[in-house]
Amino acid sequence: MQDSISSIDLKILKQLQDDCSLTAAQLADRIGLSQSPCWRRVNRLEQEGFIHKRVALLDAEKLGMDVVVFCTVNLSVHGRQSLEEFEEAVRRLPEVTECYTMTGTMDYMLKIVTRDIRHYEQFVRTFLSQMPGIQEIHSNVAVTTIKNTTALPLDTQLD
Amino acid sequence: MQDSISSIDLKILKQLQDDCSLTAAQLADRIGLSQSPCWRRVNRLEQEGFIHKRVALLDAEKLGMDVVVFCTVNLSVHGRQSLEEFEEAVRRLPEVTECYTMTGTMDYMLKIVTRDIRHYEQFVRTFLSQMPGIQEIHSNVAVTTIKNTTALPLDTQLD
DNA sequence: GCTGAAACCGATAGGAA
DNA sequence: TTCCTATCGGTTTCAGC
């Protein structure tokens, strides 16, 4: 699925995943190109889907939403039905910001963001524990954020 | 640390954390306000730090960077020195996109993004295993992404 | 505080090198 | 392809409410 992508496109992507509020001229400056071709490339990258969306990252602490819990879940019933029910519910719940199926002993890994531990507790009770087929839930609470970035490690693409 | 924030500001933040490429007019439309005050609010929210930054989210799959591993680490030496060394290293490494200190039995939770499992293996060998004071490393590999959003669950603020 | 309009500046597209 | 230029539209400011 990996389309070929030029090193100049990579430079553009690296800049934009750090700051997408740059003007075309600023971006062009930083990568050593002039505005028009730079802008054209950005457009192409968007149309081809390399750039998925542009979002504002908010300050979780200032907004009082800085409790992060990693939660692993096992389902006892592995029928297609209960899996899809679970996944659909997960997609609907805004507190679940990430969810993956996993190798190994757990079925799902969830990243959950809430206002405080009590709210998390409530979330587990009213949602997770209610889901059919849930066997085990392990909650791992984060204390301090050392690093948190949405930037993909594109540097390692070039090797 | 939670400053008071009006429900109209919350509407703005909810829109922008979903799409920050909206023009001031479009944004104003969606929240039922006109351009000037809307723009003023966005500016204030930025200056006050509620909006941290604006970034482009890239398509990890198209870029061949879609292996996600959650990795828990225990350090055997808990001196301030080795902790800060570890954390500083983590901040420098682009493959580590998130890192938290944790309650419970593990010291750190890392989210690591790489091109493939072999590259992850290499990453663990050349970085993680080399770090002084590392006692245990557990790698949990994600298979499928069910959900992945950067949007904070602001809906639950209002209760 | 919000509204509306006016001025400015950058984004966008076309054409020449 | 990139560069240059003209137009168009958004951003930003300000006076009035």
Q: What is the mean pLDDT of chain A?
A: 92
d(CA B40, nearest CA chain A) in Å = 16
Residue of B1, B63, B145 lying closest to A154 (CB–CB): B63
More confident residue, A81 or A146: A146
Phi, psi of A4 (to 5 degrees): -70, 145
User: Considering only CB atoms, which chain A residues are within 8 Å of B146?
Assistant: 87, 90-91, 99-101, 108
Instruction: Judge: domain A67-141, CATH 3.30.70.590.
Output: no
Specify the pLDDT at position B80: 80
Specify the pLDDT at position B157: 53
For residues A121 and A47, the answer to whether their CB atoms sit within 8 Å is no
Residue of B16, B49, B62 lying closest to A49 (CB–CB): B62
User: Considering only CB atoms, which chain B residues are within 8 Å of A19?
Assistant: 53-55
Residues B6-14: contacts with CB under 8 Å, at least 24 apart: B7/B158, B8/B33, B8/B41, B9/B41, B9/B45, B9/B50, B10/B154, B10/B157, B10/B158, B12/B38, B12/B41, B12/B42, B12/B45, B13/A56, B13/A58, B13/A63, B13/B45, B13/B50, B13/B51, B13/B154, B14/B151, B14/B154, B14/B155
What is the fold of A7-56? Answer: Arc Repressor Mutant, subunit A (1.10.10)
Secondary structure class of A140 (helix, strand, coil)? strand
The predicted-structure confidence for A56-91, as pLDDT tens digits, reads as follows 999 999 999 999 999 999 998 777 788 999 999 999
Is residue A13 pLDDT above 50, yes or no?
yes
Specify the pLDDT at position B19: 97
**Which percentage of chain A shows pLDDT scores above 90?**
81
How many CA atoms are closer than 13 Å to the CA of A99, on its beta-carbon side?
21
Structure tokens at B155: 């809906």
Q: Judge if the beta carbon of B35 is closer than 7 A to nucleic acid strand D.
A: yes
Per the CB < 8 Å rule, is A113 touching B153? yes
pLDDT by residue, tens only, chain B of 159 residues: 445 789 999 999 999 999 999 999 999 999 999 999 999 999 999 999 999 999 999 999 999 999 999 999 999 877 788 899 999 999 999 999 999 999 999 899 999 999 999 999 999 999 999 888 899 999 999 999 999 999 999 987 544
Specify the pLDDT at position B1: 45
- Domains of chain B, residue spans: 7-56, 67-141
The predicted-structure confidence for A94-130, as pLDDT tens digits, reads as follows 999 999 999 999 899 999 999 999 999 999 999 999 8
Specify the pLDDT at position A1: 43
Separation between the CA of A46 and the C1’ of C13 (whole angstroms)? 18
